[in-house]
Structures are given as structure tokens and as C-alpha cells.
């Protein structure tokens, strides 16, 4: 069983991630209040990003430092690729691995890309409007 442990969004006026307890997910847009995903609408496969808390801890980062919107407990996140799942009352679809980028390395430390390759999280589409809160379970449909 996976569960939402942390939620982070980036406000339109700031590149820093901000923790929130609950966030609204909007089909075709992303997370309300999130700079890249909500303002112009999410690119396909990029409306929601998730990462396992164990991976975050393993590389010595805090959840917000990964630049992923949801940090989840449990394992098997990448098993959701090609599957529909629900986070809280929001239906999602797992699209692909969310690989680390050079910008993440610039914000953290050299070598983080190598440490996170093929385990930096999941990119997903949002298929239904609703809210996501800390403590919500992630359930495969």
C-alpha cells in the first residue's frame, strides 16, 4: 500500500517548492497553484509527478528537494506505468518514469542525476478533478 506523505507545489511567482496539506487536481491542467502544470495546462504525461519516500531518503534529500509534487510511502510506484490508479478521490494514469534533470542537480548536488536515474519517480496524467491530501492512499484501479 502506498500513501501520500508530502505534497509540494511551485507558485507562479517563485521557483521554490512549498509544502501544502491538500491540493486540487484539475483534469488537463495539473495541480491548482502549481507554476508549470496549472498555468498553461499540463503537457500530456506531466500533470502529476510522484516519488517514493524511500528513494528520497536513500539519496539524502528532503521530499521538496526532489521537485516532485507527491512523495509517497511504500514501494512499487513504477509498477503504475500503464495503469489507472486513484490518489485520494483523483483518478490518474501512470505514463512514464520521471527521470532526474540537470536543473535538479544544480539545485541539490553533483551526482544526484546518477543516484536517481530510473528511480526518480513517475509522471502521470490526471483523469478526474478532485482533491489530494497528505495521508491519502494510492489504489490501483
Q: What is the dihedral of CA 25, 30, 34, 37, to 10 degrees?
A: 180
DSSP structural state of residue 78: G
Where along the chain do its domains lie?
Answer: 2-140
Answer for the pair 86, 3: CB distance below 8 angstroms, yes or no.
Answer: no
How many residues comprise the chain?
Answer: 141
Of 87, 89, 80, nearest in space to 45 by CA: 80
H or E stretch covering 107: helix 102-107
Note the pLDDT of residue 102: 78
Note the pLDDT of residue 29: 84
* pLDDT tens for each residue of the chain, 141 residues long: 999 999 999 876 666 788 999 999 999 888 888 876 655 666 778 899 999 999 999 989 988 888 789 999 999 999 999 999 999 999 999 999 988 887 787 888 898 889 888 998 999 999 999 999 999 999 999
CA gap 25, 64 in Å, rounded: 18
Note the pLDDT of residue 36: 61
∠ CA 53-54-55, rounded to 5°: 90
State in words which class domain 2-140 has: mainly beta
∠ CA 91-93-99, rounded to 5°: 130
Amino acid at each position: 500500500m502506498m500513501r501520500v506523505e508530502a505534497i509540494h507545489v511551485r507558485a507562479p511567482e517563485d521557483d521554490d517548492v512549498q509544502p501544502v496539506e491538500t491540493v486540487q487536481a484539475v483534469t488537463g491542467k495539473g495541480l491548482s497553484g502549481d507554476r508549470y502544470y496549472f498555468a498553461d495546462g499540463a503537457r500530456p504525461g506531466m500533470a502529476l509527478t510522484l516519488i517514493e519516500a524511500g528513494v528520497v531518503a536513500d539519496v539524502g534529500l528532503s521530499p521538496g528537494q526532489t521537485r516532485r509534487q507527491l512523495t509517497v510511502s511504500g514501494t512499487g510506484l513504477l509498477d503504475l506505468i500503464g495503469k489507472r490508479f486513484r490518489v485520494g478521490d483523483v483518478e490518474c494514469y501512470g505514463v512514464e518514469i520521471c527521470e532526474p534533470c540537470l536543473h535538479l542537480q544544480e539545485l541539490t548536488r553533483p551526482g544526484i542525476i546518477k543516484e536517481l536515474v530510473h528511480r526518480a519517480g513517475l509522471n502521470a496524467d490526471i483523469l478526474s478533478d478532485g482533491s489530494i491530501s497528505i495521508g491519502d492512499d494510492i489504489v490501483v484501479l
